[in-house]
Each structure stands twice: as structure tokens, then as C-alpha cells.
Amino acid sequence: DHEGDARKLVDPHVYEVSSLSFKGLAFDGKDQSILVSGESGAGKTETVKIAMNHIASVQRGKTASSDSGAFSDPVVERVLESNPLLEAFGNAKTRRNDNSSRFGKYTQLQFDQGDKTSRAFANK
């Protein structure tokens, strides 16, 4: 039943998913999970980068923006910069992708309720 909610007529969007996830965590107090899947070269890594930066920016609240207007959290950047090192241990060339990952990745974001600026990220 799609009456009254146009969002149900289209595929999920990364910003909506990350916003709803943060809302569920911050306001409802419920743990959240986002599963990003797709074929090789479909943009999974980029989608995770966008979602992580968006959640970090929503969690941080309003801050002075950079000249480019793009938000980038230093902790998120550190996690994302570790990606090539992690991938070096399990990638192989395939017909569709020269650097295809041979394993899944699990990234956990933890937010501290008491301190809005405190964030901990752990790769597993």
C-alpha cells in the first residue's frame, strides 16, 4: 500500500536511508543497520562513504562549512583511508573489475549520547 507516501514508489536513496537510520538511533534509541550490496563496480564503496559522511554531519549538527560546501569528518576520513590497505589483502582481477574485493566489509559506527562531538569508528 503506497497511499500517502510517495517515497515508497521509488528506490531508497542514500541520504534518506542514512537520515532515517540516524533518526531511529538518536530519537527512538534503537540500534540501526544499513546493508549496502550490489554487483562489482555498482558503487558500494562510494555509497558507504556518502552515508558515513552524511550521518557524521547530521550527528555533529550545524558547523561552519568549508569553501567547497562539502562536509568531511576527520574520523570518517581516517576510516575511509584505511580501505585500500584492507582491500590489498583480498582483492583479485576479474573480467569486470581490476581490483575486485574477495571479502565483505563490516563497519560499525558508535555514537556517544553524552557528547555530541564524540564518535568512535571501528572496522572489522
What is the per-residue pLDDT across 92-124, written as a single tens digit (0 to 9) for each?
777 777 767 667 778 887 776 654 444 444 444
pLDDT for the residue 122: 43
The CA distance from 54 to 73, in Å, is: 9
- pLDDT beneath 50: ranges in the chain: 115-124
pTM of the predicted model as reported, rounded to 2 decimal places: 0.65
* Grid coordinates given for 82: 584505511
Instruction: Collapse the DSSP code of 84 into the 3-class scheme (helix H, G, I; strand E, B; otherwise coil) and give the result.
Output: helix
Chain-centre distance for alpha carbon 76? 9
pLDDT for the residue 70: 59
pLDDT for the residue 68: 54
pLDDT for the residue 119: 42
pLDDT for the residue 20: 92
Would you say 71 and 43 are in contact if contact means Cβ atoms under 8 Å apart?
no
